[in-house]
Structure 1
Amino acid sequence: MAAEPPKRPEAPFATRIDPEKEGGLSGEQKRFIRRVELQQWAKTTPRLRTRNVATGLAIGALVMGIYGYTFYSVSQERIMDDLDEEAKLARARGSKTGAN
Protein backbone atom coordinates (compact mmCIF):
# COMPACT_ATOMS: atom_id res chain seq x y z
CA MET A 1 0.00 0.00 0.00
CA ALA A 2 1.22 3.45 -0.90
CA ALA A 3 1.53 5.92 1.89
CA GLU A 4 -0.58 9.05 1.55
CA PRO A 5 1.36 12.29 1.25
CA PRO A 6 1.07 14.51 4.30
CA LYS A 7 -1.65 17.11 4.02
CA ARG A 8 -0.49 20.68 3.82
CA PRO A 9 -2.24 23.17 6.03
CA GLU A 10 -4.50 25.60 4.19
CA ALA A 11 -2.85 28.99 3.88
CA PRO A 12 -5.02 32.08 3.91
CA PHE A 13 -5.15 33.80 0.54
CA ALA A 14 -5.21 37.53 0.02
CA THR A 15 -8.64 38.77 -0.84
CA ARG A 16 -9.38 41.67 -3.12
CA ILE A 17 -10.89 44.68 -1.46
CA ASP A 18 -13.41 46.76 -3.34
CA PRO A 19 -13.00 50.28 -1.94
CA GLU A 20 -16.52 51.18 -3.07
CA LYS A 21 -18.22 48.55 -0.90
CA GLU A 22 -19.06 49.18 2.70
CA GLY A 23 -16.34 48.09 5.04
CA GLY A 24 -13.77 48.84 2.34
CA LEU A 25 -10.87 51.19 2.76
CA SER A 26 -10.91 54.23 4.97
CA GLY A 27 -10.25 57.69 3.57
CA GLU A 28 -6.72 57.68 4.95
CA GLN A 29 -5.98 54.32 3.32
CA LYS A 30 -7.30 55.61 -0.01
CA ARG A 31 -5.09 58.71 0.25
CA PHE A 32 -2.07 56.53 1.06
CA ILE A 33 -2.72 54.26 -1.92
CA ARG A 34 -3.13 57.30 -4.19
CA ARG A 35 0.13 58.81 -2.89
CA VAL A 36 2.02 55.55 -3.50
CA GLU A 37 0.54 55.28 -7.03
CA LEU A 38 1.65 58.85 -7.79
CA GLN A 39 5.16 58.08 -6.53
CA GLN A 40 5.33 55.02 -8.78
CA TRP A 41 4.17 57.07 -11.79
CA ALA A 42 6.73 59.78 -11.00
CA LYS A 43 9.46 57.13 -10.92
CA THR A 44 8.50 55.44 -14.20
CA THR A 45 7.43 58.50 -16.23
CA PRO A 46 10.93 59.59 -17.40
CA ARG A 47 11.72 56.11 -18.69
CA LEU A 48 8.38 55.91 -20.50
CA ARG A 49 8.91 59.37 -21.96
CA THR A 50 12.34 58.33 -23.26
CA ARG A 51 10.88 55.23 -24.88
CA ASN A 52 8.04 57.22 -26.40
CA VAL A 53 10.43 59.79 -27.87
CA ALA A 54 12.68 57.07 -29.29
CA THR A 55 9.69 55.27 -30.82
CA GLY A 56 8.37 58.53 -32.26
CA LEU A 57 11.73 59.36 -33.82
CA ALA A 58 12.02 55.88 -35.31
CA ILE A 59 8.54 56.06 -36.83
CA GLY A 60 9.23 59.59 -38.10
CA ALA A 61 12.49 58.46 -39.72
CA LEU A 62 10.71 55.56 -41.39
CA VAL A 63 7.98 57.85 -42.73
CA MET A 64 10.51 60.37 -44.02
CA GLY A 65 12.49 57.57 -45.67
CA ILE A 66 9.42 56.27 -47.46
CA TYR A 67 8.46 59.82 -48.45
CA GLY A 68 11.96 60.53 -49.79
CA TYR A 69 12.13 57.25 -51.67
CA THR A 70 8.75 57.95 -53.25
CA PHE A 71 9.97 61.33 -54.52
CA TYR A 72 13.17 59.73 -55.79
CA SER A 73 11.35 56.97 -57.66
CA VAL A 74 8.84 59.41 -59.19
CA SER A 75 11.69 61.64 -60.40
CA GLN A 76 13.35 58.59 -61.96
CA GLU A 77 10.12 57.77 -63.78
CA ARG A 78 10.01 61.30 -65.17
CA ILE A 79 13.56 60.94 -66.48
CA MET A 80 12.62 57.65 -68.14
CA ASP A 81 9.54 59.32 -69.69
CA ASP A 82 11.76 62.11 -71.04
CA LEU A 83 14.16 59.57 -72.52
CA ASP A 84 11.25 57.71 -74.12
CA GLU A 85 9.98 60.95 -75.67
CA GLU A 86 13.45 61.75 -77.06
CA ALA A 87 13.69 58.24 -78.51
CA LYS A 88 10.28 58.63 -80.19
CA LEU A 89 11.30 61.97 -81.68
CA ALA A 90 14.58 60.49 -82.94
CA ARG A 91 12.72 57.62 -84.58
CA ALA A 92 10.25 60.03 -86.15
CA ARG A 93 13.05 62.14 -87.67
CA GLY A 94 14.73 59.07 -89.00
CA SER A 95 18.21 57.82 -88.55
CA LYS A 96 20.95 60.36 -89.35
CA THR A 97 23.57 57.70 -89.95
CA GLY A 98 22.19 56.77 -93.35
CA ALA A 99 22.04 53.10 -92.48
CA ASN A 100 18.36 52.85 -93.47
Structure 2
Amino acid sequence: MADKTPEQSDAPFAARIDPNKDDLSRDQLYFIKQVELAQWKKKTQKLRTRNVLTGVAIGALVMGIYGYTFYSVGKERIMDELDEEARRARMPKTGAN
Protein backbone atom coordinates (compact mmCIF):
# COMPACT_ATOMS: atom_id res chain seq x y z
CA MET A 1 0.00 0.00 0.00
CA ALA A 2 2.83 2.42 0.81
CA ASP A 3 4.36 1.92 -2.62
CA LYS A 4 1.18 2.96 -4.43
CA THR A 5 0.88 6.45 -5.88
CA PRO A 6 -2.32 8.48 -5.49
CA GLU A 7 -3.34 7.46 -9.02
CA GLN A 8 -3.15 3.79 -8.08
CA SER A 9 -4.88 4.09 -4.70
CA ASP A 10 -8.02 2.09 -4.03
CA ALA A 11 -9.47 4.85 -1.80
CA PRO A 12 -12.16 7.02 -3.38
CA PHE A 13 -11.49 10.72 -3.74
CA ALA A 14 -13.60 13.23 -1.88
CA ALA A 15 -16.05 14.95 -4.17
CA ARG A 16 -17.29 18.49 -3.72
CA ILE A 17 -20.84 18.58 -2.50
CA ASP A 18 -23.23 21.47 -2.89
CA PRO A 19 -25.77 21.16 -0.07
CA ASN A 20 -28.26 23.28 -2.00
CA LYS A 21 -28.23 21.11 -5.14
CA ASP A 22 -27.52 17.62 -3.81
CA ASP A 23 -30.17 15.74 -1.92
CA LEU A 24 -28.51 15.17 1.47
CA SER A 25 -29.90 13.61 4.59
CA ARG A 26 -30.32 15.53 7.82
CA ASP A 27 -27.36 13.68 9.35
CA GLN A 28 -25.12 14.57 6.42
CA LEU A 29 -26.08 18.25 6.67
CA TYR A 30 -25.45 18.17 10.42
CA PHE A 31 -22.00 16.66 9.88
CA ILE A 32 -21.16 19.29 7.24
CA LYS A 33 -22.19 22.06 9.65
CA GLN A 34 -20.05 20.53 12.42
CA VAL A 35 -16.99 20.35 10.16
CA GLU A 36 -17.52 23.95 9.00
CA LEU A 37 -17.85 25.08 12.61
CA ALA A 38 -14.63 23.30 13.60
CA GLN A 39 -12.76 24.92 10.71
CA TRP A 40 -14.19 28.33 11.60
CA LYS A 41 -13.11 27.98 15.25
CA LYS A 42 -9.60 27.01 14.19
CA LYS A 43 -9.30 30.05 11.90
CA THR A 44 -10.75 32.49 14.42
CA GLN A 45 -8.25 31.43 17.08
CA LYS A 46 -5.39 32.35 14.74
CA LEU A 47 -7.09 35.63 13.81
CA ARG A 48 -7.72 36.48 17.46
CA THR A 49 -4.04 35.98 18.28
CA ARG A 50 -3.00 38.18 15.37
CA ASN A 51 -5.54 40.85 16.31
CA VAL A 52 -4.31 40.92 19.92
CA LEU A 53 -0.70 41.23 18.83
CA THR A 54 -1.59 44.00 16.38
CA GLY A 55 -3.57 45.84 19.05
CA VAL A 56 -0.71 45.62 21.53
CA ALA A 57 1.76 46.87 18.92
CA ILE A 58 -0.46 49.82 17.96
CA GLY A 59 -1.12 50.63 21.62
CA ALA A 60 2.61 50.57 22.39
CA LEU A 61 3.28 52.87 19.44
CA VAL A 62 0.59 55.33 20.54
CA MET A 63 1.81 55.34 24.14
CA GLY A 64 5.39 55.83 22.92
CA ILE A 65 4.42 58.83 20.82
CA TYR A 66 2.32 60.22 23.68
CA GLY A 67 5.18 59.81 26.18
CA TYR A 68 7.77 61.26 23.83
CA THR A 69 5.54 64.27 23.18
CA PHE A 70 5.24 65.02 26.88
CA TYR A 71 8.97 64.47 27.36
CA SER A 72 9.95 66.82 24.54
CA VAL A 73 7.43 69.49 25.54
CA GLY A 74 8.65 69.28 29.12
CA LYS A 75 12.20 70.03 27.98
CA GLU A 76 11.16 73.12 26.08
CA ARG A 77 11.25 76.35 28.00
CA ILE A 78 9.10 78.41 25.68
CA MET A 79 6.78 79.63 28.41
CA ASP A 80 9.73 80.56 30.63
CA GLU A 81 11.28 82.55 27.78
CA LEU A 82 7.99 84.32 27.07
CA ASP A 83 7.57 85.18 30.76
CA GLU A 84 11.11 86.55 30.87
CA GLU A 85 10.51 88.73 27.81
CA ALA A 86 7.25 90.00 29.32
CA ARG A 87 9.05 90.90 32.57
CA ARG A 88 11.71 92.76 30.66
CA ALA A 89 9.06 94.64 28.68
CA ARG A 90 7.25 95.70 31.87
CA MET A 91 10.37 96.92 33.63
CA PRO A 92 10.79 100.69 33.48
CA LYS A 93 13.60 101.68 31.24
CA THR A 94 16.18 103.84 32.88
CA GLY A 95 19.24 105.43 31.39
CA ALA A 96 21.51 103.18 33.48
CA ASN A 97 20.80 100.12 31.35
Quickly name the TM-score band, shorter chain normalised: 0.5 to 0.7
SS at match of 2:24: coil
Cα pair 1:18 1:24 within 8 Å, conserved: yes
Measure, in 1, the Cα distance between the counterparts of 2:16 and 2:52: 39
Aligned to 1:17: 18
Post-superposition offset of 1:94: 6.3
| 2:9 alignment partner in structure 1 | none
- Greater relative contact order structure (CA < 8 Å, 6+ sep): 2
Residue 45 of structure 2 is matched in structure 1 by 46
Aligned pairs, how many?
A: 81
Across the aligned residues of Structure 1 and Structure 2, the Cα RMSD in angstroms comes to: 3.2
Task: Verify the 8 A CA contact 1:17 1:24 in the aligned structure 2.
Answer: no
Q: How much has 1:51 moved relative to structure 2?
A: 0.7
Question: Equivalents in 1 of 2:35, 2:19: separation in Å?
Answer: 18
For 1:15 and 1:38, the matched residues in 2 are separated by 18
Kindly tell me: are residues 30 and 16 of structure 1, through their superposed partners in 2, closer, same or farther at Cα, counting changes over 3 Å?
closer
CA distance in 2, matches of 1:16, 1:43: 22
In the alignment, is residue 87 of structure 1 matched against residue 85 of structure 2? yes
Give the structure 2 partner of residue 59 of structure 1: 58
Cα distance in 2 between the residues matched to 1:65 and 1:55: 15
Alpha-carbon displacement from aligned partner over 1:17-67 (angstroms, at most 9, x marks no partner): 353x6x543211211111211222343343222211101101211222233
Q: How far, CA to CA, are the matches of 2:55 and 2:23 in structure 1?
A: 42
Per the normalisation by structure 2, the TM-score is 0.56
Show the counterpart of 2:12: none
| Match in the other structure for 1:30 | 29
